[in-house]
Amino acid sequence: MSSTHSIQDLRQRFFIKNSPVRGDVVRLDDSYQAVIEQKDYPIALQKLLGEMLVAASLLIGTLKIDGRLSIQLQNSTDAKTDTDSNNTDRASQLNWAMAECDSHGFVRGLADWTGNWSGLITANDAFAKLGKGGVLFINIQSNTTQSGMQAEGYQGIVERVADNLADCLTHYQQQSVQIPTLINLACDGKQAGGILVQLLPYSEDEQEHIDNDLFPRLTVLTKTLKATELTKLPPNEILYRLYHEEEVITADPVNLSFGCTCSIQKSASAIFQLGKTQALNLVAEQGGEIGLDCGFCGQIYRFDTQAINEIFA
């Protein structure tokens, strides 16, 4: 596992004392830069990837799993076959994007796009390039094994109820998970940040001790956050500015860092899927060696004829 870490890359959990309200603030700096440096992404797509990385880091904090959570955007149109000389917008699109955070705080992301994105500068501009038929997914994969087999993963479809990622994910949490939630995301192309606030379930016995106006009040306050505050201020300062009239309790922050799970073993497995004959033919065609590169971190794994033969030995 390769990683890049900064003291500014973290998730800060907080609670409102004597209430069922909890939340998290996420800031990404070096880890975000490590992701967008892998490709020459348009600025709008850089910002969308930043929001996706923050969102994945926030959402996995709501789960008690040893595993990973990813957010994926998938376009339903193939721009290569859907070009039209009278409609250049059809050939300019976001093909797919994904961002992932695991329970150890490692984040990574990747995206693919087509066409000229000049003039697009915001994350919402990039989100719109997903097209009307584009689909959002949340994937959760546990590392837990059962009877020697990896536990089955979960995939949820996120309804496109808005033209931005944060509102779509907020709606998903409220409808599918059925937990009142507010999510606010921001990215300026250098740093990314976000906040999640939730009203957890509580019993009838707890009802009489709960301030019913607390969550609506916090929602209004949280919506006043500016994008520049989310990307530049330390989490504790954000919490103080928003909720200084409440009794806020913070837990130890969780460090976040860029990390990739690629390995020579996984690359060898991919070659094995090709079959020995095809793999050796590729080696011959490419001058005696083939290289498999990881889109997430840029690592290249090289295999010559001897290495191919060892894979199939």
Domains of the chain, earliest start first:
10-258 (3.55.30.10), 264-312 (3.90.1280.10)
Q: What is the pTM of this model?
A: 0.85
**Cα-based distances in Å from 63 to 66, 69, 154, 220, 233:** 9, 9, 13, 25, 26
CA-wise closest residue to 44 among 131, 123, 130: 123
CA 157 distance to own-chain centroid: 15
What are 159's two structure tokens?
A: 């309804």
d(CA 285, CA 145): 41
d(CA 308, CA 285): 14
Sequence letter at residue 179: I
Question: Do residues 196 and 15 make contact, with C-beta atoms less than 8 angstroms apart?
Answer: no
Question: Do residues 102 and 116 make contact, with C-beta atoms less than 8 angstroms apart?
Answer: no
- DSSP three-state, residue 45: helix
- pLDDT per residue of the chain (313 residues) written in tens, 0 to 9: 444 445 689 999 999 998 999 999 999 999 999 999 999 999 999 999 999 999 999 999 999 889 999 999 999 876 554 444 344 445 789 999 999 999 999 999 999 999 999 999 999 999 999 998 899 999 999 987 655 556 678 899 999 999 999 999 999 999 988 899 999 999 999 999 999 999 998 766 666 667 788 999 999 999 999 999 999 999 999 999 999 999 999 999 999 999 887 788 888 888 888 888 888 888 888 888 888 877 787 778 888 888 888 888 8
d(CA 140, CA 42): 28
d(CA 108, CA 183): 20
Position 34 scores a pLDDT of 95
